[in-house]
Amino acid sequence: MEIGPIFRAMAQKKIGVVLLVAEIAVTMAVVLNCINLVMDNRARLMIPSGVDEDNIFALSIQSYGDDFSEDEFVDQIRQQDLDLIRAQPGVIAATPISPLPLQGGGSSTQRKVVGAINDTLVRTPIYTVDEHFLETLDLDLIEGRAFTQADILPRLADDEQPAAPRPLNIIITKALGDALFPDGDALGKVITSANDQAANTIVGIVDYMHTSYDNGASGMEYRIVFFPGRPGGASGMRYLVRAEPAAFTDLFTDVEERLVTINSERIVRTTSLSEIKMGSQFVNVFTVRILTAIGVLLLSVTALGVYGMTSFTVTERTHQIGTRRALGARKFHIVRFFMVENAIITLLGIGIGLVMAFGLNAAIVSSASNASRLPFGLVILGVVIVWGVGAVSTLLPALRGASIPPIIAARSV
């Protein structure tokens, strides 16, 4: 191979080499970090919720009638609403709920084993639901039992509020159970709050659920508590409805109006659970789309740049190529010359680019708390991509160079 002449040719156009190396290096650094951030964000988007989100919609109700200031009236309307919803053909199950799951954030508390010190408190999102929530969310109960109506305590007047909350039966996710009881014997145990006043008996454990809360910082998103109760009031009520896939669209549009027939002094809004989830994940979705776009654009620009600069070199060397061809070099040799030259430049660029990529990654990790380090496998992928783009964009001008006829050499400039 003509390594010597290649280096001498590169020495002839130092600045061109420097430009290409710089371009490939920066491209390498940016593309690697784009892919890494896209993978981080995609990983978050891919976490299953454990909920039958595609077949669930939420009804959000704002009731402005004066009657709604009475709790008994609210309870009565809630019951009528749910009876009506559950009677619709195609409805699998429905539950009142507060707050909405998968919306990003919500309501949370801390729990620990009775008698334990507060260092062992585990933070957990809380949802207040009725006895139909397991079927509505499509969660798998792996131990214990579902809620019954008896688990929902009667209402107390303001002046009867106890200083300590009343004992309650709760259902938790297995992740919360394991966090509190590493031996896996959470069922039937009582857990309490930081001030030791709460007394919650675990009567059921569900296999899995994930709700977005703190962007994955603490693990609390898997550790969930369900309280039995009567969620919602005048300022807002929410129901989740799970429908047969075939009936989803009709129910999604119809139920809203039917609820207004029960009591017209309210505004009902229907939102699909997948849309609610999308709202909470928008920063991740945005990051994935934008960085994918930037990465693809960058590779295209670099491909065009390499193509342009190699084309320029080929044109510059028309005469020399003709001479080599006249002296017996085959087309293959000409192509090989440019490909090897490009490979050397790309290698140099990739080397410098890798150093830059890790520097950039370190800067990103230190400024963005949820960014991860560049994994080794990704580095290999990045090398392959950048090398491939460089090689393809060199091949075209190199082939053109190879087609320069030997007769060129015979012509004077």
Partner 1 sequence: MILFHLKLALLSLRNTPRVSLISVLAIALGIGVATSMTTIHYVFAQNPLPEKSDVLFNVRIDTWDPDSEFFAVAPGEPPKAVTYQDMAGMQESTIPLHQTGVANGQIYVFPDDEINKPYQTVAQLVQADFFPMFNVPFQYGGGWTDDADRTREAVTVLSQAANDKLFGGRDSVGELIRLGTREFTVVGVLARYQPTPKFYDVVNSLAGQTNEFFVPFDLIREEELGLSVTGNTDGWGDGSTFVGDLIFTAAEWYWIQFWVEVEPDRQAEYVAFVDDYSRKLKELGRYPRPLNNRVTPMMDWISERNQAGETTVVIMILSMLFLAVCAINLTGLLLGKFLAKANRIGIYRALGAPRSSVFMQHIIECELVGLIGGAAGILLAMLALRLIVRMMPDLSGFVAKEIFRLDGTMIAVAIGLALLAGLSAGIYPAWRASRISPAMQINVT
Ranges within 388-407 binding partner 1 (CB under 8 A)? none
| CA distances for 327 relative to 297, 332, 341, 406, angstroms | 42, 14, 21, 8
Q: Which of 101, 91, 61, 65 is CA-nearest to residue 78?
A: 61
Please tell me whether residue 164 binds partner 1 under the rule CB under 8 A.
Answer: yes
Please tell me whether residue 384 binds partner 1 under the rule CB under 8 A.
Answer: no
User: Alpha-carbon distance 329 to 338, whole Å?
Assistant: 13
Please tell me the number of Cα atoms within 13 Å of 139 on its side-chain side. 29
User: Alpha-carbon distance 398 to 402, whole Å?
Assistant: 6
Q: Quick count: other Cβ atoms within 10 Å of Cβ 160?
A: 7
Q: Quick count: other Cβ atoms within 10 Å of Cβ 226?
A: 26
Q: Which of 198, 135, 144 is CA-nearest to residue 173?
A: 144
Q: Quick one: which of 116, 121, 146, 199 contacts partner 1 (CB under 8 A)?
A: 121
Identity (one letter) of the amino acid at 381?
L
Ranges within 36-65 binding partner 1 (CB under 8 A)? 37, 62, 64
Residue pair 365/372 in contact (Cβ under 8 Å)? The answer is: yes
Please tell me whether residue 28 binds partner 1 under the rule CB under 8 A.
Answer: no
Identity (one letter) of the amino acid at 119?
D
Please tell me whether residue 412 binds partner 1 under the rule CB under 8 A.
Answer: no
| Minimum CB–partner distance for residue 404 and partner 1 (Å) | 18
Binding part of the chain for partner 1, among 24-32, 125-133, 177-185, 247-255 by CB under 8 A, reads 24-32
| Minimum CB–partner distance for residue 5 and partner 1 (Å) | 22
Binding part of the chain for partner 1, among 184-192, 239-247, 287-295, 333-341 by CB under 8 A, reads 287-295
Please tell me whether residue 114 binds partner 1 under the rule CB under 8 A.
Answer: no
Please tell me whether residue 263 binds partner 1 under the rule CB under 8 A.
Answer: no
Q: Quick one: which of 46, 87, 163, 246 contacts partner 1 (CB under 8 A)?
A: 163
Q: Which stretch of DSSP H or E encloses residue 187?
A: none
Q: Which two tokens stand for residue 295?
A: 């990465």
| CA distances for 228 relative to 32, 98, 172, 173, 346, angstroms | 48, 11, 11, 15, 63
Please tell me whether residue 236 binds partner 1 under the rule CB under 8 A.
Answer: yes
| Minimum CB–partner distance for residue 197 and partner 1 (Å) | 7
Binding part of the chain for partner 1, among 11-19, 93-101, 168-176, 394-402 by CB under 8 A, reads 11-19
3-state secondary structure of 203: strand
Task: Select 3 or 283, whichever has its Cβ closest to partner 1.
Answer: 283
| Minimum CB–partner distance for residue 337 and partner 1 (Å) | 20
Q: How many residues bind partner 1 (CB under 8 A)?
A: 68
Task: Select 88 or 110, whichever has its Cβ closest to partner 1.
Answer: 110
| Minimum CB–partner distance for residue 381 and partner 1 (Å) | 18
Please tell me whether residue 161 binds partner 1 under the rule CB under 8 A.
Answer: yes
Residue 125 DSSP one-character state: E
Q: Quick one: which of 27, 124, 342, 346 contacts partner 1 (CB under 8 A)?
A: 27
Report DSSP letters for 327-366, one per residue: TT--HHHHHHHHHHHHHHHHHHHHHHHHHHHHHHHHHHHH
3-state secondary structure of 229: coil
Please tell me whether residue 328 binds partner 1 under the rule CB under 8 A.
Answer: no
Q: Which stretch of DSSP H or E encloses residue 172?
A: strand 168-173
Task: Select 91 or 348, whichever has its Cβ closest to partner 1.
Answer: 348
Long-range contacts of range 383-387, CB-CB < 8 Å, 24 or more positions apart?
383/28, 383/350, 383/354, 385/31, 385/299, 386/24, 386/27, 386/28, 386/31, 386/299, 386/302, 386/346, 386/349, 386/350, 386/353, 387/346, 387/350
Task: Select 32 or 206, whichever has its Cβ closest to partner 1.
Answer: 32
262 bridge partner residues: none
| Minimum CB–partner distance for residue 170 and partner 1 (Å) | 17
Ranges within 174-233 binding partner 1 (CB under 8 A)? 194-195, 197, 214-215, 218
Q: x/- site string to partner 1, residues 330 to 369, per CB under 8 A?
A: ------------------------------x--xx--xxx
Rule CB under 8 A: which residues touch partner 1? 15-16, 19-20, 22-23, 26-27, 29-30, 33-34, 37, 62, 64, 66, 69, 108, 110, 118, 121, 123, 158, 161-165, 194-195, 197, 214-215, 218, 234-236, 265, 267, 275, 278-279, 282-283, 285-287, 289-291, 294, 297-298, 301-302, 304-305, 308-309, 312, 360, 363-364, 367-371
